[in-house]
């Protein structure tokens, strides 16, 4: 029977020795920070062109987190690869032979990769915030302002949770290509389109990304029909994560590798 510390060490070794997983985390950080910085610089130069309503509802914290729209895609790739690589290579059979306690195996994998994703998420969020605020100039806010720390730390949590969500999906589907083929369009196309159409917004607001991103908002959008606040939005995302992780655990215990 493999001990939990030994399984955790094994999972950490797998992650740090596979270049693709490390690179996807670095890409998530760089893409998020770079896109956020670019949008903040653009907003500063065009702020005077905004309508009075847009100026009053301008959220400097949220725009400094806006790069997560692309950064989350790299985090999804990370989560999928952490699980999917073992299935595509056939190493899952060896792993389960070494760790026959399948619940211990999967939870250890998710714990190690999840902590790493959450740490990178926090670094990404705070780097995006500080660089973005520096570029916003007179329109910036500070970390000590009301609800700003919650929004920034929440942005880091969002990035990490998206990675864990992707791990659950990949474990259920047992295919990196199939998982990415579903998650990428869902987050990059389906969710934004549903959220932009008034008839489908009530459905879109409960999707993982739309709900989770509410935690990064400080200024409330009064024109939105969303019926929950930032913490409730994060709770909805956590619910999605828990649902898919539990589903992955059940299926892993019931079916062959």
Query: pLDDT per residue over 133-155, tens digit each?
Result: 999 999 999 999 999 999 999 99
| Average pLDDT estimate for 96-111 | 91
H or E element at residue 205: none
| Average pLDDT estimate for 198-204 | 87
H or E element at residue 209: helix 208-212
- The predicted structure's pLDDT at residue 224: 66
Quick check: pTM over 0.85?
Answer: yes
pLDDT in tens, 206-244: 999 999 999 999 987 666 677 788 999 999 999 999 999
User: What share of the chain has pLDDT > 70, as a percent?
Assistant: 97
Question: Which of 80, 62, 95, 11 has its CA nearest to residue 219?
Answer: 62
Phi-psi category of residue 137: left, alpha or beta, with phi > 0 → left and psi -120 to 50 → alpha: left
Whether the CB-CB separation of 158 and 68 falls below 8 Å is answered with yes
Whether the CB-CB separation of 167 and 180 falls below 8 Å is answered with no
List the chain domain ranges: 4-254
Task: Give the range among 103-107, 181-185, 201-205 with minimum mean pLDDT.
Answer: 201-205
| Average pLDDT estimate for 170-188 | 94
Provide the pLDDT confidence category of residue 98 given band limits of 50, 70 and 90: confident
pLDDT at 2 over 80: no
pLDDT at 19 over 70: yes
| Average pLDDT estimate for 103-118 | 95
- The predicted structure's pLDDT at residue 52: 85
- The predicted structure's pLDDT at residue 177: 94
Question: Two tokens at 241?
Answer: 């994560």
pLDDT at 1 over 60: no
């Amino acid at each position: 029977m493999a001990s939990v510390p030994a399984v955790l060490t094994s999972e950490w070794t797998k992650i740090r020795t596979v270049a693709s997983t490390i690179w996807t985390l670095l890409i998530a950080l760089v893409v998020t920070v770079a896109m956020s910085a670019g949008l903040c610089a653009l907003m500063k130069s065009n702020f005077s062109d905004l309508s009075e309503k847009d100026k009053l509802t301008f959220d400097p914290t949220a725009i400094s987190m806006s790069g997560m729209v692309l950064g989350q895609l790299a985090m999804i790739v990370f989560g999928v690869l952490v699980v999917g690589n073992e299935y595509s290579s056939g190493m899952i059979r060896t792993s389960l032979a070494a760790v026959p306690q399948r619940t211990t195996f999967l939870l250890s994998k998710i714990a190690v990769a999840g902590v790493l994703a959450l740490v990178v998420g926090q670094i990404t969020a705070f780097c995006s915030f500080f660089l973005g605020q520096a570029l916003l100039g007179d329109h910036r806010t500070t970390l000590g302002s009301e609800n700003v720390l919650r929004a920034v730390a929440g942005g880091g949590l969002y990035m990490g949770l998206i990675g864990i969500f992707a791990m659950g999906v990949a474990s259920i589907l047992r295919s990196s290509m199939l998982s990415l083929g579903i998650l990428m369009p869902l987050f990059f196309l389906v969710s934004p389109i549903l959220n932009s159409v008034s008839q489908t917004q009530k459905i879109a607001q409960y999707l993982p990304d739309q709900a989770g991103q509410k935690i990064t908002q400080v200024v409330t959008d009064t024109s939105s029909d969303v019926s929950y606040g930032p913490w409730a939005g994060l709770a909805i995302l956590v619910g999605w994560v828990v649902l898919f992780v539990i589903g992955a655990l059940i299926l892993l215990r019931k079916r062959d590798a």
